[in-house]
Chains A and B, each alone.
Chain A
Amino acid sequence: MDKAKSMMDKKGASGPFHVTNGQAFHANGSCCSGSTFSSSSSSGPNSSSSPSSSSSFEASMHHLHRGEDAECNGSPAKRCRLRKRTESVRRSRPPFPWFGMDIGGTLVKLVYFEPVDITAEEEQEEVENLKSIRRYLTSNVAYGKTGVRDVHLELRNLTMCGRTGNLHFIRFPTQAMPRFIQMGRDKNFSSLHTTLCATGGGAYKFENEFRSMADLELLKLDELDCLIRGLLYVDRSCVKKTCTLDNPFPMLLVNIGSGVSILAVYSENDYKRVTGTSLGGGTFLGLCCLLTGCETFEEALEMASKGDSTNVDKLVKDIYGGDYERFGLQGSAVASSFGHMMSKEKRDSISKEDLAKATLVTITNNIGSIARMCAVNEKIERVVFVGNFLRINTVSTKLLAYAMDFWSKGQLRALFLEHEGYFGAVGALLELHKTTEDP
């Protein structure tokens, strides 16, 4: 497998370790706040003659496509260079279309920036396939059989890299990836010479397919870096009322996708992966399909909402006849998930809905329990849950909120974010703007 050409220094160590992203993320979360965009060639702290973002990179970072020299050190000629760079910003803005892609274990998340400030001139010059892509994406809410645009998540009139536009959130199953790549080929995407920033495991797994089937080169990015970057950006873009995450640090970030990663985030640039668990959203859906015959996440949740897991699980009171007071375990707590199912009688008396609910409750509570342990050990009070397991899944969000509060006696707080599973893709899109180099 190719080594990732990542913006970050690749540390192939094992075990939890800190990632210090020497990149200083601009305070307002966007890569640029005005019309100028400071490109990131300087590694020193004095590169900020430009009014907007100061992006100082560690010397170890390498820019991939345009062979940027990341090591100029604030020489006297720097100011002159910077002026020229400001002027060339418009030229060095990445060409449209602007995508960020997160190819996960179960779902592909795609964010697409639709410019709404296109001038007549620009429109005239626009190549046909670019126009067609824009139209296709923005005039549909469903694509093929399984692609969906989450319209309710759309961020309108966002300013990114000096352009104003709408940010769209699209998802489709990773299983449909071959078809997506086909479409990329049919629409001659590669002729647009755009960089396709992609994160998630699939960015590595499908790299060759993108190249061979659609002549597209992926800029591969680490999923956790993108997750954090994307999360902070969306939350700070403050398009909506309040920012959920005032003074967000430190926070425990629990990303519940097919599997689960738990990160302790100390600052924008400093985080570590504390642990993970393989009992995630994929487990919930996989087990549900097996146990109930359902076929989709929505179906599984629908069934779960109607079931009673206490018919399936063995509770403390089923074993103790009441509470296990000595260790503070209430009678209603689950002692053994699915514990009743070893009895044939009980198996014959429960419904598919009960099984779906029990699966949901089991997976959710296990994640909650592990998250709580991490929060206690890392001494962090704020636990943010993200990932598409929580999409339209109020049962789980409520359970997690309750569990965090109850078991910690009010010490821990569970937080949830609206854009749930899309942060990785947003982070990838943001990286696109960072890779823009000077000619």
Chain B
Amino acid sequence: MATKATMKVSTKAKRPRSSRGPTGRCPGVSEMSPTMRLHRPQEEPHPSGQTSNSTARLRSDSVKKTRPPFPWFGMDIGGTLVKLVYFEPKDITAEEEQEEVENLKSIRRYLTSNIAYGKTGIRDVHLELQDLTLCGRKGNLHFIRFPTHDLPAFLQMARSKHFSSLHTTLCATGGGAYKFEADFRTMADLQLHKLDELDCLIRGVLYIDSVVSSGPSECYYFENPTDPERCIQKPYTLENPYPLLLVNIGSGVSILAVYSETNYKRVTGTSLGGGTFLGLCCLLTGCSSFEEALAMASEGESTKVDKLVRDIYGGDYERFGLPGWAVASSFGNMVSKEKRETVSKEDLARATLVSITNNIGSITRMCALNENIERVVFVGNFLRVNTLSMKLLAYAMDYWSKGQLKALFLQHEGYFGAVGALLELLHPS
């Protein structure tokens, strides 16, 4: 059995497919550029127009030879969550279906007919991209996540489904691709093709934004973020996106300045991220999930917990432009026993959310200022179902920069690393 990251022909497949390692590529596809608007919905352009049927047939034959075998996965093993993208082909011919090995079929069925897997796996159906064309095949792109804590269960499943016999390359990014590399090998006989998480992130962001052409716009912002009655989401076109500040809020935070598809740097990061929010919330309120923590936060009042400028000054600190409602000291009221006794768990959850979010906003703003970048895109699963933080970030960027900075968000939030990993499988760089 192959132990290297090269693909071998399945013993059952009749159609001769030459083996290709990770260098197998789909010809006719150049670097994906977000400014390259697709000619037909979600289809990759060909470099030259096809003029004759025979040419087309020849090309499609050669494409099949260099296309990696199914299944096509991209995996991002993060500090808290594993993000998995799976491409489900919908253009399977009768012939192909006949030849398809049993376990491949079973994997496809298992993934696409469920929206929950085991106790903690979830498929985000609302994020599914349908009728996508990838590497000459048409299908749906699925977005699945589960806690990194449950990776052993995932590996067990991969083993029991004989995933390794499919000889497919498993492209994986995130710290876990390194940390669990040995486990993949020993527990499921799988070789990971390890990729850098930030490379994949950027690649994934640029790709998704370019292919989503129907339904809600991938990229959006908030208008009137502090006015609950008037605050609305509005679409934003990320054409000519450079330079861009990309803030990835996962367990921790990385901030990248992106100058072009291939030119970026990690400006800085902070360890006060999504993991901090959830960890502190669990400790302070007894909650045990991200959704619970958010639910509590939505009902709490952080101003009881935080010491505001007006609590110290009796009003604004005008001289340096600090309004009375600004937080001077997060959790600052909690030094008082009386106050500790009067706040609720919801207030604490809210204060935790606000503190973490505002700290990220503040650091981001400093970076944007110093890198001279006006557009900031926030991604990462901290923002999943977390409109509170998104609005806070939108407001903070706008207010403290006096309208110079714009906060942008993307629908596929935390999945870009996994998408980038999938792209590496199909279009190795």
Q: Using a CB–CB distance below 8 Å, which chain A residues touch chain B? A: 1, 4, 10-16, 104-106, 175, 200-202, 204-207, 222, 224, 257-259, 261, 273, 275-283, 285-287, 289-291, 295, 312-314, 316, 318-322, 324, 326-327, 329, 333-344, 347, 355, 362, 365-366, 369-370, 373-374, 376-377
A10 partner residues in chain B, CB cutoff 8 A: 318-319
Most buried by B among A106, A280, A282, A369: A282
Q: How far is the CB of A370 from chain B (nearest CB, A)?
A: 7
B316 partner residues in chain A, CB cutoff 8 A: 1
With A290-B340, A337-B272, A337-B276 known as contacts, the answer to whether A222 contacts B175 (CB < 8 A) is no
Most buried by B among A16, A273, A341: A341
Please tell me if B62 contacts chain A, counting CB pairs below 8 Å: no
The size of the chain B interface, using a CB distance under 8 A, is 74
- Please measure, in the bound complex, the distance between the C-alpha atom of A334 and the C-alpha atom of B279, giving whole angstroms: 14
- Please measure, in the bound complex, the distance between the C-alpha atom of A291 and the C-alpha atom of B284, giving whole angstroms: 7
Residue in contact with A347 in the complex, picked from B250, B283, B331, B348, CB distance below 8 Å: B283
Q: How far is the CB of A127 from chain B (nearest CB, A)?
A: 32
Q: Give 1 or 0 for each of B274-303: 1 = CB within 8 Å of chain A CB.
A: 111011101110001000000000000000
Asked if residues A201 and B309 are in contact (CB atoms below 8 Å), the reply is yes
Q: How far is the CB of B309 from chain A (nearest CB, A)?
A: 7
Please tell me if B273 contacts chain A, counting CB pairs below 8 Å: yes
Residue in contact with A204 in the complex, picked from B305, B314, B355, CB distance below 8 Å: B314
Residue in contact with B312 in the complex, picked from A105, A329, A337, CB distance below 8 Å: A105
Asked if residues A336 and B335 are in contact (CB atoms below 8 Å), the reply is no
Most buried by A among B282, B313, B331, B359: B331
B196 partner residues in chain A, CB cutoff 8 A: 326
Asked if residues B312 and A104 are in contact (CB atoms below 8 Å), the reply is yes
Asked if residues A14 and B355 are in contact (CB atoms below 8 Å), the reply is no
- Please measure, in the bound complex, the distance between the C-alpha atom of A78 and the C-alpha atom of B341, giving whole angstroms: 64
Asked if residues A322 and B332 are in contact (CB atoms below 8 Å), the reply is no
- Please measure, in the bound complex, the distance between the C-alpha atom of A258 and the C-alpha atom of B335, giving whole angstroms: 10
Please tell me if B78 contacts chain A, counting CB pairs below 8 Å: yes
Please tell me if B30 contacts chain A, counting CB pairs below 8 Å: no
Asked if residues A336 and B332 are in contact (CB atoms below 8 Å), the reply is no
- Please measure, in the bound complex, the distance between the C-alpha atom of A318 and the C-alpha atom of B279, giving whole angstroms: 15
Asked if residues A335 and B270 are in contact (CB atoms below 8 Å), the reply is no
Q: How far is the CB of A104 from chain B (nearest CB, A)?
A: 7
Residue in contact with B358 in the complex, picked from A12, A175, A278, A321, CB distance below 8 Å: A278
Asked if residues A202 and B271 are in contact (CB atoms below 8 Å), the reply is no
Residue in contact with A314 in the complex, picked from B251, B280, B335, B358, CB distance below 8 Å: B251
- Give A324's nearest chain B residue, CB to CB: B175
* Stretch among B1-9, B86-94, B360-368, B409-417 lining the A interface: B360-368
With A105-B329, A290-B331 known as contacts, the answer to whether A336 contacts B312 (CB < 8 A) is no
Please tell me if B263 contacts chain A, counting CB pairs below 8 Å: no
- Give B183's nearest chain A residue, CB to CB: A321
Residue in contact with B402 in the complex, picked from A14, A365, A370, CB distance below 8 Å: A14
Please tell me if B252 contacts chain A, counting CB pairs below 8 Å: yes
Asked if residues B251 and A285 are in contact (CB atoms below 8 Å), the reply is no
- Give A6's nearest chain B residue, CB to CB: B319
B79 partner residues in chain A, CB cutoff 8 A: 314, 318-319, 335-336, 339
A205 partner residues in chain B, CB cutoff 8 A: 312-315
Please tell me if B306 contacts chain A, counting CB pairs below 8 Å: yes
B250 partner residues in chain A, CB cutoff 8 A: 336
Please tell me if B164 contacts chain A, counting CB pairs below 8 Å: no
- Please measure, in the bound complex, the distance between the C-alpha atom of A333 and the C-alpha atom of B337, giving whole angstroms: 34
Q: Using A105-B311, A334-B271, A342-B282 as known contacts, list a sample of 17 further A-B pairs with CB atoms less than 8 Å apart, ordered by residue number in A.
A: A10-B318, A15-B321, A175-B336, A206-B314, A258-B329, A273-B320, A278-B328, A278-B355, A283-B329, A286-B335, A320-B176, A326-B196, A336-B271, A338-B283, A339-B276, A341-B282, A347-B283
- Please measure, in the bound complex, the distance between the C-alpha atom of A11 and the C-alpha atom of B331, giving whole angstroms: 29
Asked if residues B319 and A295 are in contact (CB atoms below 8 Å), the reply is no
Q: How far is the CB of A416 from chain B (nearest CB, A)?
A: 21
Residue in contact with B276 in the complex, picked from A16, A224, A338, CB distance below 8 Å: A338
Asked if residues A258 and B319 are in contact (CB atoms below 8 Å), the reply is no
B394 partner residues in chain A, CB cutoff 8 A: none
Those 4 A-B pairs whose CB atoms lie nearest each other, nearest first: A14-B321, A286-B334, A341-B279, A321-B179
Asked if residues B307 and A258 are in contact (CB atoms below 8 Å), the reply is yes
Asked if residues B282 and A347 are in contact (CB atoms below 8 Å), the reply is yes
A16 partner residues in chain B, CB cutoff 8 A: 320
Q: How far is the CB of B296 from chain A (nearest CB, A)?
A: 14
Query: In chain B, residues 331-385, which have Cβ atoms closer than 8 Å to a Cβ of chain A?
Result: 331-337, 340, 348, 355, 358-359, 362-363, 366-367, 369-370
B174 partner residues in chain A, CB cutoff 8 A: 319
Asked if residues B279 and A1 are in contact (CB atoms below 8 Å), the reply is no
Asked if residues A370 and B363 are in contact (CB atoms below 8 Å), the reply is yes
Most buried by B among A207, A285, A321: A321
A106 partner residues in chain B, CB cutoff 8 A: 329, 332, 335
